[in-house]
Structure 1
Amino acid sequence: MKAVARAVGLWLFVILLGGCGAEGPVQFHADGLPAQLSQWKLFRHSGGQMRPNEGVVSFDLNTPLFSDYAHKWRTVWMPAGQSARYSPDSSFDFPVGTIISKTFYYPRGKAPGQVARTAPEATELERETLQLDRVRLVETRLLVRRQEGWLALPYVWNDDQTEATLQRVGALVPLSLVDATGTATELAYQVPDQNQCAGCHATDNRARALQPIGPKARHLNREFDYAGGRENQLAKLSRVGYLTGAPAPLAAPRAANWHDSATPLAARARSYLDINCGHCHSATGAANTSGLWLDAAASPDLHMGLCKQPVAAGKGTGDRLYDIHPGQAQASVLVYRMGSNDPAVMMPELGRSLAHTEGVQLISQWVDSLEGTCGQ
């Protein structure tokens, strides 16, 4: 009996210690809806740390999508012998079996129950490792490439940060977000449901099929601090066999870092609009009927909103006449909607409940710098 008790005790200890870090290789599920994130075996938990499992490669974007000041840890995994095909403009062509993950978290605040509002670029990730006592895990979203196409699965972390559970209908996570001055904002962080995922990831409005947004050459062409050292991400993916057909990084497109003041203002603003708005506001996106295209391919003309009157925006215009009024940010619909928290007005309409103060400032500076006049 004592031997049985010891065995049971050891089993419980392993479960509690391992949490979402079950032993064994990454497990791709070709069908079904795994209820726990740990069933995919993407991460390992030990010693109060969270690390990627073998073969799981971390990555980041030159300019990330804003999500209520959440920090993000992105990873990709592919089956042995499989690789994505490079494209200079669109998302890479990933093979069946690919798992892309994005874990949303916040640095912990000074007081219990609080999280810190810091620049998401100031990552807590150190060589592909998170110290769990320093962060509050909120959710991990998976994009899974099955035979029939991409599937989005949102997993919400428990309070102990040992497991994340599938929430197909989404969730609201209450957070107290504290800035550097000590001012707290009570935030109902929204985890999207599966249908809302399609609102951004169905980048072709005709096909309506989900596609990755971030893994494009221009977003990935940057260096990253991997566990084995610093390396360009395109070079890393090519070296480990996850990417074929990529040129040398210097020959690949590169989006600007939106908060790098050494980079021209226009390049930073266009990069910000591309990642935050361009997946919908493009010639093929869900917002193509608006005539406002904000992706990297958009020409700086009427289609990009310069002196363009808004289409079917309703109260979203704020009585402004043009999407972008050169030299007049406060008279531009684009800036007005970016700065609003009204669900009937704000853009993007999904993925945030707070305005990105710094992002609005950037776009305002850019619009104010534009020359030209609009006819009345």
Structure 2
Amino acid sequence: MTSIHPFETIDRIELSHLTKTYGDVTAVSDVSLDVIGGELLVLIGGSGSGKTTTLRMVNRLIEPDSGIVRINGTDIREFDEVRLRRNIGYVIQQIGLFSHMNVGDNIGLIPKIEGWGKEQIDARVHELLEMVDLPPEIFSARYPRELSGGQQQRVGLARALVMNPSLFLMDEPFGALDPILRKQLQEEFLTIKYDIGRTIIFVTHDIDEAFKLGDRICIMHEGELVQIGTPEELIFHPETDQVAHLVDANRKYRHIETFTVHDLMSPLSKREFYEANMPVSEAMAKILSDETGIAVVMEGNNLRGTTSRQNIVRNRKKNLLLGDITTEPITVTPEDALVPVLQKMKTKNASSALVINREGEVTGMLIPDSVLFHII
């Protein structure tokens, strides 16, 4: 058995004829697929489809009854399983933070076991908390019970990143969060994904999340791999009824040309509105306390612009007002036809637009799901 060292890169992960049974139940049946180095591959399917079992066979939390997993051509059974897991980032829905440890100690646990010095650990924890937009001076000493669900999920992601692994396994990491916070974390995770440039296998049951995050999507049903492809391939060329049912794009948006912005917009509450003359430090305290993903910045009754939670956190140490870090948003009216608006948003790479009524009031936000961007 070989002692594993951190993978410098992932060129290829091969899952070859994996099968796993529990008594009379076949959880995974003869699954074979290749994961390309640097991609985010999504495993999606309903309950009992075998997606989580397949994921856990990659880091040997579950051993297959038959079949092989290879990383860069090497059978993972040749590696010590503990060392293997320490060099694969693993993020789950339940997070699994140790309640008796503060955030800094939770993130720094594996480096401590690996013999890192305190200064090195503290520097890495500080770096990662900045990356996931949790100011370290505020959050490093807090305990899990003092964190919101979204904050705990960010800590879980930071902990998975701590050893700088080349491979991440993520099992429904955003599944327990409310829809608005879930979309916000998806956006933040996309930024982190591009920054770290790692290989990711991601399990979800949500097709919109799969389309938003995935480079390719692997659809599973009753333990079998049904189809694998890009979002466009799945939408326009489903190979089975299960795929067509899961994607549901043509039926869901069959009459998309008749939709208006009003049909998909979400109302805004008072908590999303901020004054342009508010200090960024004050805005940060507000946006951290309610997990709002975006700040609508006003000057009296006039719209100044918008800024994100991420932008506020990253400018917290500068002597700025909120109006100094706003950008001009795409604005639409409830009566606007949806397709031209989506085309404009896609061209400008915008994930949201503000909805303004005839009286000039900001009344809502348009955050279309990812399926729409693949069919317009």
Normalization by structure 1: what TM-score?
0.30
**Structure with greater proportional helix content:** 2
- TM-score normalised over the length of structure 2: 0.30
